[in-house]
Structure 1
């Protein structure tokens, strides 16, 4: 990773998933900070407030959230000039290939299916951050879009 510390944002309504994500980061001992929001409305409000000087380096976005889902958020993010380049990693329990392809077409950087196993969660988060940094935040080819543990 090129920066000293990466600022991550996790948008997920499942409190347990947020806790496991944070614990995985803690165990990986990566130079990151993590902020969490619990739904799409809260996410868009956070991004609006921080658009000028404090955007996250990477947004991990759950698809199934109340009030505004991840699909709606990704569509909005990619339509706003100041947010268009924000790297968005879809982080979802679903692995429906139609949804995966739509997320790729809408501009997501990567797609991760949430693993049920904590060690796999740790592995996939670590791999995601490594590959994102190595590729300098550039979007991969479609065949490399889904990150596996």
Structure 2
């Protein structure tokens, strides 16, 4: 009886191990396909994928005292499916800028730069050519004149 129970439990463990390996392999193949699809979508700048990338640019030897300037761009991408054929993709760039002293006695400046907005109209399904058409707007949102591109 004890030998039968041991044999039964051993065979159950082997069977369970086999099932775990099989389902894990099937899940791995599924995950690989999803990963490849996600990689393809992230390569397409006008795809219907919501994202919130952050990009930091450091400029060395900036200004009269050769200091560092840092610009952190917050770049949300918000797609809207208009119908089966077209997407509308909102791409915004919100810069946060740390500017070293450029004018003697003024000191370092930190704040919001001018916001850049584009709204792309793009086909929902792209072939080998990926395209979109968009107007682009720049808004004078800089918290200091030195941080903005649009000067009054």
* TM-score w.r.t. length of structure 1: 0.25
Query: Which of the two has greater strand per residue?
Result: 2
Structure of greater Rg: 2
Higher relative contact order (CA 8 A, sep 6+): 1
